[in-house]
Amino acid sequence: MKVLEAKFVEGFMRMANDGWEQGWHERNGGNLSYRIKPEEVDSVKEEFVAGDWREIGTEVKDLAGEYFLVTGSGKYFRNVIIDPTDSIGIIEVDETGSKYRIVWGFVNGGRPTSELPSHLMNLEVCKKRDAEIRVVYHCHPTNVIALTYVLPLEDEIFTREIWEMATECPIVFSKGIGVVPWMVPGGRDIAVATSEIMATKDVAVWAHHGMFVCGTDFDIAFGLMHTVEKAAEVLVKVLSMTNKKRQTIQPDEFRALNAPFGVQINEECLYEKKSDIIGER
């Protein structure tokens, strides 16, 4: 089968375009990666042509020998569906987990996303806790970014304020959100900070920059991003009217969701509030 005919490639490109249409990918903002299943690799590998090995910039031993579909560095999400072989590519990680080579795509001399260390380290820690997690997605969603200027950059408070904006939130991301303070993007340090969050949670916010999510498939990962950003939009609207809530969802009401929805909502975020001012504990 041709790479561009494979279902996982179609799903990847659709997700990239959906993100573009949401307004989450100005210019070359954002990046997407998918850890390809062995049978999917087999179905398309006749088209692979291996390039030279290059340094990843970090080590991902538990991903040794695996293949990834990734967006390209400096490439625009809005171009993925019209020029996929330029915008996206498949890479193989070597047996040491420290090098990669391009085997398909990036036809005009492109290379994988500048956030490759973050993507691979996230995919590695996610694989350890759930081998089914295959998608890592980074974008620049407006409302979440806006909130990083006004909410404390503390995991529990950030999570709680977003959870209160939509009942589905604590069900969809019951472990909550981790927040990374402002850091230089593209390198190993921010990758380590993000992967420490992704070791237990599905959502990481990068202050004044954007958000990372993971998921078992494209629908789950995109839907998670959409859910967090939608709730963030509600919070921005509330904050634009007032800094206080007249009423909201209470800790015991969150707890009442656990049994019917089969989740275990992170208790650390269900602290008793002493203040009705948004962002205060």
Interface contacts to ligand 2HA, rule CB under 6 A: 28-31, 114-115, 138, 185
Q: Catalytic pick from 66, 92, 115, 229?
A: 115
Smallest distance from the beta carbon of 250 to Zn ion, in angstroms? 35
Contacts with 236 (C-beta within 8 Å, 6 or more apart), sequence order: 143, 146, 147
CA–CA distance, 202 with 62 (Å, rounded to integer): 19
Instruction: Return the number of the residue (135 or 169) whose C-beta is nearest ligand 2HA.
Output: 135
Alpha helices in 84-138 (DSSP H): 84-87, 116-129
Residue 110's binding partner, choosing from ligand 2HA, Zn ion, none, with beta-carbon cut-off 5 to 8 A by kind? none
Smallest distance from the beta carbon of 138 to ligand 2HA, in angstroms? 6
Instruction: Return the number of the residue (8 or 137) whose C-beta is nearest Zn ion.
Output: 137
CA–CA distance, 101 with 193 (Å, rounded to integer): 25
Instruction: Return the number of the residue (79 or 258) whose C-beta is nearest ligand 2HA.
Output: 79
CA–CA distance, 256 with 57 (Å, rounded to integer): 45
Q: Give the CA diameter of the chain.
A: 62
Instruction: Return the number of the residue (59 or 115) whose C-beta is nearest ligand 2HA.
Output: 115
Residue 31's binding partner, choosing from ligand 2HA, Zn ion, none, with beta-carbon cut-off 5 to 8 A by kind? ligand 2HA
Closest-CA residue to 92 (of 136, 52, 58): 52
- Grouping H, G, I as helix, E, B as strand and the rest as coil, residue 71 is strand
- Concatenate the DSSP letters of all residues of 141-206 into one string: -HHHHHHTTTS-S-HHHHHHHHHTT-THHHHHTTT-EEEEPS--TTSHHHHHHHHHHHTT-SEEEE
> What are the two backbone dihedrals, phi and then psi, of residue 109, each rounded to the nearest 5 degrees?
85, 15
Smallest distance from the beta carbon of 121 to Zn ion, in angstroms? 15
- Locate 272 and state its tokens: 């008793």
Question: What is the binding site for Zn ion (CB under 5 A)?
Answer: 210
Smallest distance from the beta carbon of 130 to Zn ion, in angstroms? 25
Please identify the residue of the shown chain whose CB is closest to the bound Zn ion: 210
Instruction: Return the number of the residue (27 or 237) whose C-beta is nearest Zn ion.
Output: 27
Please identify the residue of the shown chain whose CB is closest to the bound ligand 2HA: 185
Smallest distance from the beta carbon of 188 to ligand 2HA, in angstroms? 14
Q: Any catalytic annotation for residue 115?
A: yes
Q: Which residues are catalytic?
A: 115
